[in-house]
A and B are shown apart, each in its own frame.
Chain A
Amino acid sequence: MLTRIKGGEIVDPVNGRLGKGDLWIEDEAIVEAPAGRRADRTIDATGCVVMAGAIDIHSHIGGGNVNTARLLLPEHHAAHAQRPAETPLSNAGWSTFQTGCLYAKMGFTTVVEPAMSPGSALHTHLELADIPIIDKATLAILGNDDFLLSMIRDKASSQMIEDYVAWTVGSSRALGVKVINAGAAAAFKENVRTFSLDDVVPSYGVSSRKIVKTLQAAVTTLGIPHPLHVHCNNLGAPGAADTAAATIAAAEGVPLHLAHLQFYGYGTEGKRRFSSEGARLAELVNSTPEVTIDIGQVMFGQTVTISSDVMRQFTSRGTASPKKTVIFDGDGNGGGIVPYRYRDDFYGSVQWAIGLELFLLINDPWRVFFTTDHPNGAPFTAYPDLFALLMSRDARNAAAANLSQKALALSTLGSIDREYTFEEIAIMTRAAPAKLLGLKDRGHLGAGALADVAVYRKGKDIAQMFREAAFVIKNGDVVVEDGAIKNYRWGRALRLNPPPDKAMVRRLEAYYQERYGLSLDWFDFPDSAIRRDEPFGEVSCNA
């Protein structure tokens, strides 16, 4: 089928298309304007902005910890049923089926679940397979597992570690690797309660820094397109900016991605010893070109924090609202579920301001990524409001007027005039994520790209524009029209498939037999176990 999206304002920074024009789609792909052919279908995009489908690089949408959070909080879901929009809890999409629909309505067509426990990969992929419309991907968690820590302790060769990383990524069908508070979950099992970059995991004698550097090197050597995705130590702690700064410095010229930097932007100034270090971290990012970051913006209201940083989550149990939590010591990281309500008080205002400072003070939209760390900073359904804050200084000022002025005085936010342009939004939410993840077929509107397209009707209300896209096209199908789902389809999970090293497989088989009394087969699964046609899409490693 030949489709013409007619008369829209095309925003495609990758191909330098910025201005009014048509976009042509044939079946699943974007094509050049065909000479002498008539479209089978024409979509009128007059008065609309046309961008590639958005890509979210860090959103906890499926897997063991996410599902445990659902189980812990049935009231969270119940509150999401149809009711007036301002009702508490009404802004959290929760089931797998809702997740895909809600993302699609906002023009997102690819979302990465950034924390998959490799041992629970089947569970994660089953959940992702029940998320309709969008494509998905996962990052496999390493860095607290005994096998890796033992290899580092025993000074295994870098080749052996690369073989293990490759096997983990391949067998768990992941698109990349994430390390979460490296070594801390293992240390917590031995009753360590705080853990920083140069602290050492008991029983292994391996520092957190060593784990990060080892994985960074393995990911780079293997040609995994996405740099090592790092959840730093000391998340949420006043003074955590020092840890983030040390981790940025530890990149040492090699690509490194720091997740949800806002949660590390905390200084110790002021009476409450809680202040913004957003400007300092932004400057560090600006001056460290090998580092990319996503924000983890806080937006106010009820949410639930879901993290494989089990030490951090254990520490924050006392802040739970409502007062119930799950703490899980897993085979590697485990995780913690702590429901939380972000209030517009002093602390919440500082957090809100730090996220915006990072967004607005990091100069290069190719290196800063749009996330709320769903649902940790806010549910992804808050994205439209966040777009408005980034694109309108007036919207920021209006929001800030209702917050703690003492808190905002400890940040530079009030002095920042920058407003994101559509082009910068398209880079930050389309082009840059595709580049960061190695997804060459999306993130732009050039001929040959996958026909993932979002069409937004321009208006004064920026949030409304992004909340309900005029049209969303996924793989050439119109899936959303005027903010409503029109066509249900099933996306795929994007994965790397590095070939397993046979010697490593034998070594792992022996390890699992000896240490767990189980065959390695227990942790593997055929694609047919997912019960979807073509559940996975393969992405190439770099040469």
Chain B
Amino acid sequence: MAVAWIGDRDVPVAQAAKHAAGLLVSSLSPVFSFDTDVHGTRAAIALAERVGAAYDHIGGEALARETALFTDRGGMFIAPGETRRRADVVVIAGSLPAHHHEFVGKLASTIPDLGGGASRQFFLIGAETRAAYLSKVKPTRLAVTGSDVGGTLAAVRAQCAGRAVAEPVSNFERFAKALAEAKFPVFLFCGQSLDLPGLEMLQGLIADINRKSRASALHLPASESGWGSTLASTWMTGFPMRTGFGRGMPELDSWRFDVARMLAAGEADLHLWVSAKTSVSVAKGVSTIALTKGKKPVAGAAVTISIGEPGVDRDAVAWSSRIGTLAAVKAQAATDLPDAASVLRLIAEHLPDGKALPC
């Protein structure tokens, strides 16, 4: 079965890798976007350094907001295990992506066993209460007429502090009573439905509560692979995603190195795409190297190499929101498809200096 193509001509993987290396060498402004595990990320970043590329996560907008919360402000956070065992009030700020719904369901079917809380109440700030995953949760909705999640959060914080608001938060008294009685409220959040001011407002509310009692926030990332890549990028370069090596050293700039923006603005002449889950749409005038899982070459791509999916075709290391850290994931049904890291290393071996990547 063919796994590598130059244009639409199937070739050995080594030949495709050599051609990809040639394209990278001749590129003036290469960009990488990826959705892969920690080891794929490490190899991609090591290759980006060698060729002076900028890199970003695929669909990295929400991830960039979550990252900005850490780089710009910080905050108070809690582990998922502690949330399950300790949270007697759970507040969902905005909506959560589907991959976190099971965890929220588990919270609904358990009660805290640490800290003295005997039951678990749920509140929902400014989002739809009728979502299927919330059926067991039965949250009390906190909303402000005409306001979005961020506006509602601001009003909740103001009312908690005893300040006047133009429009009161629905069910606030119930929420205030729950907070007053709570041993350890936990706010669940994701960058998908909160902008940076909203994320900061949430942290402000939590900081206010912690003046006299305890509370924290559980970060449920918009993309688990994206958060894993963020961590790997941070330890490798000192910077999270949206970092560029164009000037020979890593530079972080969440606007400048937004790869989707760079491609749309015509700032990039080569796009290396790494994702076994999704395929790339080739931008006009941009040489595209697609590392993706498929039986056919990507239309318009200069090079396509088929890769295995982390945790499905290949063993992987990925962020797990269930444990709040990186986890080793065994391949569900191992195949011979190479993982992203090994293909990226192969490409690097064909760069002019021929040096192996450091990871």
Question: Counting CB contacts under 8 A, is A158 at the interface?
Answer: no
Judging by beta carbons under 8 Å apart, are B322 and A518 in contact? yes
Judging by beta carbons under 8 Å apart, are B42 and A77 in contact? no
Contact A517/B110 with A190-B214, A191-B214, A529-B317 known, Cβ cut-off 8 Å: yes
Give, as a whole number of angstroms, the nearest-CB distance from A526 to chain B. 6
User: Most A CB atoms within 10 A — which of B235, B251, B317?
Assistant: B235
Complex CA distance for A68 and B234, rounded to whole angstroms: 8
Residue of A nearest to B243 (CB): A74
Query: Which of the residues A72, A132, A488, A515 comes within 8 Å of B113, measured between beta carbons?
Result: A515
Query: Which of the residues A119, A326, A515 comes within 8 Å of B74, measured between beta carbons?
Result: A326
Judging by beta carbons under 8 Å apart, are A127 and B235 in contact? yes
Judging by beta carbons under 8 Å apart, are A328 and B323 in contact? no
Contacts of B106 in A (CB 8 A): 517
Complex CA distance for A245 and B22, rounded to whole angstroms: 66
Query: Which of the residues A67, A72, A330 comes within 8 Å of B231, measured between beta carbons?
Result: A67
Complex CA distance for A77 and B236, rounded to whole angstroms: 11
Complex CA distance for A97 and B49, rounded to whole angstroms: 13
Question: Counting CB contacts under 8 A, is B252 at the interface?
Answer: yes
Residue of B nearest to A75 (CB): B71
- CB under 8 Å from chain B, chain A span 310-368: 314, 324-331, 334, 337
Judging by beta carbons under 8 Å apart, are B238 and A74 in contact? yes
Contacts of A96 in B (CB 8 A): 235-236
Residue of A nearest to B85 (CB): A515
Judging by beta carbons under 8 Å apart, are B84 and A329 in contact? no
Question: Counting CB contacts under 8 A, is A95 at the interface?
Answer: yes
Contact A94/B238 with A328-B77, A522-B323 known, Cβ cut-off 8 Å: yes
Judging by beta carbons under 8 Å apart, are A516 and B81 in contact? yes
Give, as a whole number of angstroms, the nearest-CB distance from A196 to chain B. 20
Question: Counting CB contacts under 8 A, is B201 at the interface?
Answer: no
Contact A120/B325 with A67-B231, A189-B184 known, Cβ cut-off 8 Å: yes
Judging by beta carbons under 8 Å apart, are A70 and B77 in contact? no
Question: Counting CB contacts under 8 A, is B75 at the interface?
Answer: yes
Question: Counting CB contacts under 8 A, is B65 at the interface?
Answer: no
Complex CA distance for A525 and B318, rounded to whole angstroms: 12
Contacts of A513 in B (CB 8 A): none
Contact A74/B114 with A95-B237, A329-B82 known, Cβ cut-off 8 Å: no
Query: Which of the residues B76, B81, B183, B326 comes within 8 Å of A331, measured between beta carbons?
Result: B81
- CB under 8 Å from chain A, chain B span 308-341: 315, 317, 320, 322-328, 341
Judging by beta carbons under 8 Å apart, are B238 and A64 in contact? no
Judging by beta carbons under 8 Å apart, are A97 and B236 in contact? yes
Contacts of B81 in A (CB 8 A): 119, 331, 515-516, 518
Question: Counting CB contacts under 8 A, is A20 at the interface?
Answer: no
- CB under 8 Å from chain B, chain A span 391-421: none
Judging by beta carbons under 8 Å apart, are A74 and B240 in contact? yes
Contacts of A528 in B (CB 8 A): 315
Give, as a whole number of angstroms, the nearest-CB distance from A136 to chain B. 13
Judging by beta carbons under 8 Å apart, are B85 and A146 in contact? yes
- The contact string, 1 if C-beta is below 8 Å from chain B, for chain A 493-505, is 0000000000000
Residue of B nearest to A488 (CB): B358
Question: Counting CB contacts under 8 A, is A126 at the interface?
Answer: yes
Question: Counting CB contacts under 8 A, is A123 at the interface?
Answer: yes
Question: Counting CB contacts under 8 A, is A273 at the interface?
Answer: no
Query: Which of the residues A71, A334, A515, A518 comes within 8 Å of B234, measured between beta carbons?
Result: A71
Judging by beta carbons under 8 Å apart, are B116 and A329 in contact? no
Give, as a whole number of angstroms, the nearest-CB distance from A384 to chain B. 22
Main secondary structure of the interface of B (DSSP, over half): mixed
User: Most A CB atoms within 10 A — which of B74, B75, B78, B325?
Assistant: B74
Judging by beta carbons under 8 Å apart, are B234 and A324 in contact? no
Question: Counting CB contacts under 8 A, is B67 at the interface?
Answer: yes
Judging by beta carbons under 8 Å apart, are A529 and B315 in contact? yes
- The contact string, 1 if C-beta is below 8 Å from chain B, for chain A 37-73, is 0000000000000000000000000101011101111
Complex CA distance for A531 and B42, rounded to whole angstroms: 11
- The contact string, 1 if C-beta is below 8 Å from chain B, for chain A 96-126, is 1110000000000000000000011011001
Judging by beta carbons under 8 Å apart, are A71 and B71 in contact? yes
Complex CA distance for A77 and B251, rounded to whole angstroms: 9
Judging by beta carbons under 8 Å apart, are A324 and B72 in contact? yes
Complex CA distance for A78 and B71, rounded to whole angstroms: 13
User: Most A CB atoms within 10 A — which of B67, B216, B250, B326?
Assistant: B326
Question: Counting CB contacts under 8 A, is A441 at the interface?
Answer: no
- CB under 8 Å from chain A, chain B span 167-226: 183-184, 210, 213-214, 216
Query: Which of the residues A98, A203, A330, A523 comes within 8 Å of B116, measured between beta carbons?
Result: A203
Complex CA distance for A95 and B210, rounded to whole angstroms: 32
Question: Counting CB contacts under 8 A, is B133 at the interface?
Answer: no
Judging by beta carbons under 8 Å apart, are A62 and B358 in contact? no
Contact A70/B74 with A120-B325, A515-B113, A522-B323 known, Cβ cut-off 8 Å: no
Contacts of A81 in B (CB 8 A): 249
Complex CA distance for A94 and B250, rounded to whole angstroms: 12
Contact A189/B249 with A74-B71, A97-B236, A123-B231 known, Cβ cut-off 8 Å: no
Query: Which of the residues A76, A122, A517, A524 comes within 8 Å of B325, measured between beta carbons?
Result: A122
Contact A130/B235 with A203-B116, A329-B78, A529-B328 known, Cβ cut-off 8 Å: yes
Question: Counting CB contacts under 8 A, is B86 at the interface?
Answer: yes
Judging by beta carbons under 8 Å apart, are A326 and B39 in contact? no
Question: Counting CB contacts under 8 A, is B136 at the interface?
Answer: no
Contacts A67-B234, A190-B115, A327-B77 supplied; 6 other A-B pairs, CB < 8 Å:
A74-B252, A95-B237, A119-B81, A330-B78, A515-B81, A522-B327
Give chain A's interface residues, CB within 8 Å of chain B. Answer: 62, 64, 66-68, 70-74, 76-78, 80-82, 94-98, 119-120, 122-123, 126-127, 130, 132, 146, 188-191, 203, 314, 324-331, 334, 337, 488, 515-518, 522-526, 528-529, 531
17 contacts between A and B (CB under 8 A): A64-B325, A68-B70, A71-B240, A77-B250, A94-B238, A95-B235, A95-B238, A119-B81, A123-B326, A126-B317, A326-B70, A327-B216, A488-B358, A518-B322, A522-B323, A528-B315, A531-B39
